Amino acid sequence: MPDQRILTIQDISCVGQCSLTVALPILSVCGLETCVLPSAVLSTHTAAAFGEYTFRDLTEDIPAIHRHWQKEHIKFDAIYTGYLGSIKQIDYVKAILETMGVPGVKRIVDPAMADNGVLYSGFDLAYVSAMKNLCRLADVILPNVTEACFLTGVPFRTEYDADYISHLLEQLTALGAGTILLTGVSYTPDTTGVIVSENGNVSYYAHRKIAQGCHGTGDVYASAFVGAWMNGYSAYDAAKIAADYTVRCIEVTQGDESHWYGVKFEQVLPELIQMIGPKAG
């Protein structure tokens, strides 16, 4: 497979195993030349147990970086966005998605803005509206159920059936998204999974649900999906690889109470390479 260059745009939490500190190594072991555009730098991620963290907003650096890349004729085979801290950042990132790709660029948007029925701190419905516009540019979006509800206006439920999920997918498709990976879809107490909607075909991959949640697993999942997908796997097969890898990351972290702030994804990177197989690189 020819060498591929991917740009990922999200924040750096220097400690905490999320965002760019997860995306960069995972995409790299998948054989991708990984370039980064930090949207902010935090001393740790925002979990209350870390206490008062430092935060430096890099929003105003983005246009100058964009101009420099254009001057140097730098282009990317794929652009993958994660957590973006403001509407202004979303607007800047839209311009990058529209101008910095090679012909046929793959654009992946993880609309990281909500969970458990509520928006993250600092976000509002105006932010949701801006994120909708970003999703319209994407070839693949990866919302969880909460994010899908905010993007579509469908009321959030903690309990639902297949008809509810089908309606959610219909509304996401109407939004203009291409391939949809709807994560965290759980029909039974002991399982969860991902719905993949691609070209009118809908598939569901269920796996064991581990009760104890872990920080950063959404970033681990999205990055592993992108890495597998860029290696030629179908969206469904890439979603399955990403789910299996994420579960393994949680499994190897369980029992270590001192490692409450993330998952030991590094220890499982050799398994991810094996999952992808000879396509990697």
The DSSP secondary structure of 183-214, one letter per residue, reads E---SSTTEEEEEEEETTEEEEEEEEPPSS--
Residue from 43, 51, 120 nearest 82 by CA: 120
In a domain, 75, yes or no: yes
Please report how many Cα atoms fall inside a 13 Å half-sphere around the Cα of residue 230, on the Cβ side: 32
Average pLDDT, the chain: 93
Q: Which two tokens stand for residue 11?
A: 């924040």
Instruction: State how far the Cα of 260 lies from the Cα of 254, in Å rounded to an integer.
Output: 9
Task: Tell me: pLDDT of 188 over 50.
Answer: yes
Flag whether 263 is in a domain: no
CA distances from 121 to 83, 142, 154, 212 (A): 12, 20, 21, 22
The pLDDT, as a whole number, for residue 232 is 96
Q: Would residue 201 count as lying in a domain? A: yes
Residue corresponding to tokens 């998948």: 30
Axis crossing angle, helix 62-71 with helix 87-99, rounded to the nearest 10? 10
DSSP one-letter string for 246-277: HHHHHHHHTT-TT-TTS--GGGGHHHHHHHHG
36 located within any domain:
yes
Listed residue (33, 100, 89) closest to 61, CA to CA: 89
For the segment 154-171, what is each residue's pLDDT rounded down to a tens digit?
999 999 999 999 999 999
pLDDT of residue 213: 66
Contacts (Cβ under 8 Å, ≥6 apart) of 238: 225, 226, 228, 229
Q: Flag whether 265 is in a domain.
A: no
Q: When comparing pLDDT for 254 and 177, which is higher?
A: 254
- Flag whether 281 is in a domain: no
Q: Which of 23, 24, 25, 62 is nearest to 40 (CA)?
A: 62
- The answer to whether residue 212 scores a pLDDT higher than 70 is no
Q: What pLDDT is attached to residue 211?
A: 61
Looking at residue 279, what is its pLDDT? 56
Cα separation values, 200 from 166, 169, 175, 186, 195, Å? 12, 10, 14, 21, 12
Confidence band, pLDDT 50/70/90 cuts, at residue 1: low
Please, what's the b/e burial string for 72-83 (b: 16 or more CB within 10 A of its CB; e: otherwise)? eeeebbbbbbbb
**266 part of a folded domain:** no
| Backbone φ, ψ for residue 46 (5° rounding) | -95, 10
Do β-strands 140-141 and 179-183 pair in parallel, antiparallel, or remain unpaired? parallel
DSSP, res 155: P
Please give the pLDDT value at position 281. 45
Q: For 229-281, write each residue's pLDDT tens digit.
A: 999 999 999 999 999 999 999 999 988 888 888 999 999 999 999 999 865 54
Quick one: pLDDT at residue 44?
Answer: 86
- pLDDT value for 2: 77
Ranking 21-25, 74-78, 83-87, 256-260 by mean pLDDT, the lowest is 256-260
Q: What is the CATH number of the domain that holds 103?
A: 3.40.1190.20
Closest alpha carbon to 254 in 222, 218, 210: 210
Place of tokens 């220097």: 14
pLDDT tens figures, 35-82: 999 999 989 888 768 888 888 999 999 999 999 999 999 999 999 999
- Could you give the percent of the chain with pLDDT greater than 90? 81
**Sole residue written with tokens 């790299």:** 28
Give the chain's domain count. 1
What per-residue string of b and e applies to 147-159 under the rule 16 or more CB within 10 Å gives b? bbbbbbebebeee
Q: Which domain holds residue 84?
A: 5-257
Confidence class of residue 105 from pLDDT cuts 50, 70 and 90?
very high
